[in-house]
Copies of this chain bind each other. A is one copy, B any other.
Amino acid sequence: MPRRPTFAAWLSDTNDVTQTFLSAGQIPGLINMAGGLPDPVTWPVGELAELARRAVAEHPGDALAYPPIEGLPALRDLIAARFSAPGLALTRENVLITTGGMQGLDLVGKVLLDEGQVIATQSPAYLGALDAWKPRRPTYRPMRLEAADFVAEPAFRGAQFAYAVPNFSNPTGRLVGLDQRRTLVAAAEATGTWLVEDDPYGTLHYDGAPLPRMLTLAGQNRAYDGPVIYLGTLSKELAPGLRVGWVIAAPEMIRAMVTAKQGSDMSTPGLSQRIALDAFASGLTERVLPATLTLYRARRDAVCRAMGEHLGDLYDWEVPSGGMFVWATARDPGLNTDRLLRVGLTHGVCITPSSVFDPEGRNRRAIRINFTLNDADRLAEGVVRLAAASKAVLAECLAPAN
């Protein structure tokens, strides 16, 4: 048989971590603390079933026809109203509906990146964002926002865009403070560089009140035309399977993304959009949220308590005030967390190693632990297994190489 054409060059830069995760799904009794999955008990199944029926029966034009590329006008209007704030005037022209938050990241890459251009990214960074931009083989300029000597303007200058997850970052769970949010927005305004505010976890805050969005801080008391590109999603607020997200940005950015979305999937399913519209408009998302927060707050507390008991000698971490993850850094640099992923599987626990979140692929010393999917007992048992697996990896380091 003649040789087939080679795949596009970016596909050769893959790691086998994803494959390891997939195979992990087959292990019986495994405690999965690797993903970013919600607990299905948080879904209002009965109400969503009725919304789904009514979406088709009463709004077949919305649910079954090709929706406008930009999204259903009523949903765009609702998102614009929902995210407007004093000083921030949003209209339909600022909003694009996407197929999940992930598509927002894909479209950012499609409209802003030519091969090899620079992205200034909060580091460690969301794996999905790195995946989305990989086809353009960008150059990363990592920003360690927590470093005392971090200065935003030089990091932003010359980058096509800067990327941050200010609310309970994936993977670190870190909350970017108000002063630093202002600093990042000011750097975007001073340099002209776009600032992507990826905010899937903004509603999942367990302690205290939410901080203003960078989008809001970039409001100008006139029709919004600022540098912040805000990415939102229904996945954490309601249910991920609907795949509804949204981009809020300057109209010129929305128009460019509409061109890119047309050639990506034409439009986001109208049925999902109509359900999202009705779920927001009927207050369903607000009614569901308190129980979700109570559940996840207790699990956050449970996993951190268990970590204190079993992992205190091995790792350092901060208790996150929201989101889905605890980020733990091994005290011993010999605790290679790529290896821990594999050894963990033999102990019946799965975590995500830091290497996949490092734009430069070097950090092998930390892990991301999810606490939203499993109940307190499973979390505690998972931490016990993780402690045993970590000790096993450390023991390997000391053993003579074979």
Contact = CB atoms under 8 A, between A and B. Distances in A.
Interface of A: 1-5, 7-9, 11, 14, 18, 37, 40, 43, 45-46, 48-50, 52-57, 60-67, 98-100, 102-103, 105-106, 110-115, 128, 131-135, 159-161, 189-194, 227, 235, 239-243, 256, 259-260, 262-272, 275
A3 to B, nearest CB: 5
Contact of A46 (B7, B8, B57, B63): B57
Contact of A269 (B1, B43, B65, B99): B99
B5 A135 contact: no
Contacts of A115: 115
Contact of A64 (B11, B45, B54, B111): B45
The winner among A65, A66, A264 for most chain B CB atoms within 10 A is A264
B64 A43 contact: yes
Given A46-B57, A98-B265, 20 more contacts: A2-B189, A5-B112, A5-B192, A5-B193, A7-B111, A7-B256, A8-B110, A40-B60, A40-B61, A49-B54, A49-B57, A52-B53, A52-B63, A64-B240, A66-B241, A128-B266, A132-B264, A135-B260, A265-B265, A269-B271
A131 B65 CA distance: 21
Nearest to A160: B5
A44 B343 CA distance: 52
A102 B194 contact: no
A40 B121 CA distance: 46
Contacts of A191: 2
A17 to B, nearest CB: 12
A3 B64 contact: no
Given A52-B52, A102-B265, A267-B243, A4 B62 contact: no
Given A50-B53, A53-B52, A57-B46, A102 B2 contact: no
Contacts of A48: 56, 60, 64
A4 B227 contact: yes
In the assembly, how many copies of this chain are there?
2
The winner among A40, A65, A271 for most chain B CB atoms within 10 A is A271
A135 B193 contact: no
Nearest to A104: B265
A110 B135 contact: yes
Contacts of A110: 8, 135
Contact of A53 (B53, B65, B268): B53
Contacts of A105: 263
A133 B66 CA distance: 21
B66 A106 contact: no
A149 to B, nearest CB: 24
Given A48-B56, A114-B9, A266-B102, A241 B14 contact: no
B52 A40 contact: no
Contacts of A193: 4-5
Given A45-B57, A241-B62, A192 B52 contact: no
Query: Nearest 9 CB-CB pairs, A to B?
Result: A2-B192, A241-B270, A53-B53, A131-B263, A49-B57, A49-B56, A64-B239, A52-B52, A99-B265
A271 B190 contact: no
A241 B57 contact: no
Contacts of A14: 259
Contacts of A189: 1-2
A238 to B, nearest CB: 8
Given A4-B227, A112-B5, A161-B5, A106 B265 contact: yes
